[in-house]
Amino acid sequence: MKILPEIEAMHEEMTKWRHTIHMHPETAFEEYKTSDFVAEKLESFGLEVHRGLAKTGVVGTLKSGTGNRAIGLRADMDALDLQELNEFEHRSRIDGKMHGCGHDGHTVMLLGAAKYLSETKNFDGTVQFIFQPAEENVAGGRVMIADGLFEKFPVDSVYGMHNMPGFEVGEFAVCKGPMMASADFFEARIIGNGGHGAFPHQTVDPIVIAAEVINGWQKIAARNVDPLKAAVVTVGEIHGGHTTNVIPEDVVMRGTTRAFEPEVQDLIEANMHRILKGICEAHGASCEFTYDRRYAPTINTSDETDEAIATMQELVGEEKVNTNVTPVMGAEDFSWMLRERPGCYVMIANGAGEGSCHIHNPNYDFNDQILPLGATYWARLTERILSAEAA
């Protein structure tokens, strides 16, 4: 692996930063200590620091030379509502919260790159270091865009990176086009007419209707969406009734849908609503339906993905970069930045085999071994795209 020597020399320091952040996990829009930490570091490297975008977001601006080109590099800072089961020294000190997705590592890799680039300035143009809150559940990336991220901090292209357990340290994965799905969230309420469980003919039973609605929704992916396109409709919650012999007044269902294309999102939303209304009407019930397009599909653009691939291959060699990774139905709010600017989102391996477990697992930990590789990726990507020689 071709790690920049200046960054290799920071390995111990970066590991300490990572452990500090890991011990103090903060969740959506409450990343106060984490954003203080990030802002202090960026200021100490001499960057211009802006706070308060999407409440706890931080943007650090670094300029070099006279060029007008600009890129955005983005890391997420938030933790999960998860009780950590690890017992090592740097385990979470906050009950019920944990850096179980490795955003502590993402934050530190980008800080490491900021430190290196502020010292070496071997590029021409502007780098916006974007530290965003609330990646999990509530799409802080969407809020950053709504708060004017790219109007206030203009960039030509934008880049993101996530760690992924399950493949070997020193490997990367990416693909052009859709890499992760949209994640929309819905809530449906079926309003019937409750009564005695032994006298169903005097009621409108929302539980029986809900069963039919769920079956109907499953036919959207099976019968309505083009079989060559991907779609998921998952009902993850169903609430109705409280005892054995009473038919309840209503049933509430919540869940998520996934797709790679806006047209498929449109079709899923319209058909879910139509099926719900139709079945409720058929049985004399009424309904309510809300549908929130919270995460757009993550779509990597071609030229920017080529730059990312060339950078990764320079660091670890061609055979260690999977350039055609299979897309997944998981979602990522970096997608909102990719909707506004061309760019690329890559996966950096967190390691495989014994001791490695998946993200969102209470035994997960970001692998400190990859901190210098991730920071070097950011640094070399910047030096490639904003090359001082080409200026």
Query: Looking at 62-70, 94-102, 228-236, 249-257, which segment touches Zn ion (CB under 5 A)?
Result: 94-102
Query: Looking at 47-55, 97-105, 171-179, 229-237, which segment touches Zn ion (CB under 5 A)?
Result: 97-105
Q: Contact between 101 and Zn ion (CB under 5 A)? A: yes
C-beta closer to Zn ion: residue 35 or 163: 163
Q: How far is the CB of 103 from Zn ion (least distance, A)?
A: 6
**Distance spanning both ends of the chain, measured CA to CA:** 28
Give the number of other Cβ atoms within 10 Å of residue 283's Cβ: 16
**Using an 8 Å Cβ cutoff, are 12 and 80 in contact?**
no
Q: How far is the CB of 360 from Zn ion (least distance, A)?
A: 6
DSSP annotation of 242: S
CA 319 – CA 210 distance, rounded (Å): 50
CA 206 – CA 193 distance, rounded (Å): 8
CB nearest Zn ion: which residue? Answer: 101
Q: How far is the CB of 246 from Zn ion (least distance, A)?
A: 40
The CA distances from residue 169 to 29, 172, 173, 368, 371, in Å, are 31, 9, 12, 11, 11
Query: Looking at 52-60, 93-101, 149-157, 373-381, which segment touches Zn ion (CB under 5 A)?
Result: 93-101
Q: How far is the CB of 101 from Zn ion (least distance, A)?
A: 3
Q: Which residue type, as a one-letter code, is found at position 114? A: A
C-beta closer to Zn ion: residue 101 or 337: 101
C-beta closer to Zn ion: residue 76 or 383: 76
CA 292 – CA 300 distance, rounded (Å): 23
CA 94 – CA 90 distance, rounded (Å): 11
**Using an 8 Å Cβ cutoff, are 50 and 61 in contact?**
yes
Q: Contact between 161 and Zn ion (CB under 5 A)? A: no
**Using an 8 Å Cβ cutoff, are 6 and 116 in contact?**
yes
What length does the chain have?
391
Q: How far is the CB of 195 from Zn ion (least distance, A)?
A: 44
Give the number of other Cβ atoms within 10 Å of residue 87's Cβ: 7
Q: Which residue type, as a one-letter code, is found at position 352? A: A
CA 366 – CA 90 distance, rounded (Å): 11
Q: Contact between 308 and Zn ion (CB under 5 A)? A: no
Query: Looking at 99-107, 119-127, 299-307, 315-323, which segment touches Zn ion (CB under 5 A)?
Result: 99-107
Q: How far is the CB of 26 from Zn ion (least distance, A)?
A: 14
C-beta closer to Zn ion: residue 261 or 332: 332
Please name every residue paired with 321 in a beta bridge, in sequence order, or none if there are none. Answer: 172
Number of residues that bind Zn ion (CB under 5 A): 1
Q: How far is the CB of 178 from Zn ion (least distance, A)?
A: 18
Query: Looking at 22-30, 40-48, 91-99, 100-108, which segment touches Zn ion (CB under 5 A)?
Result: 100-108
Q: How far is the CB of 180 from Zn ion (least distance, A)?
A: 11
- 245-304 positions binding Zn ion, by CB under 5 A: none
C-beta closer to Zn ion: residue 101 or 375: 101
Residues that bind Zn ion (CB under 5 A): 101
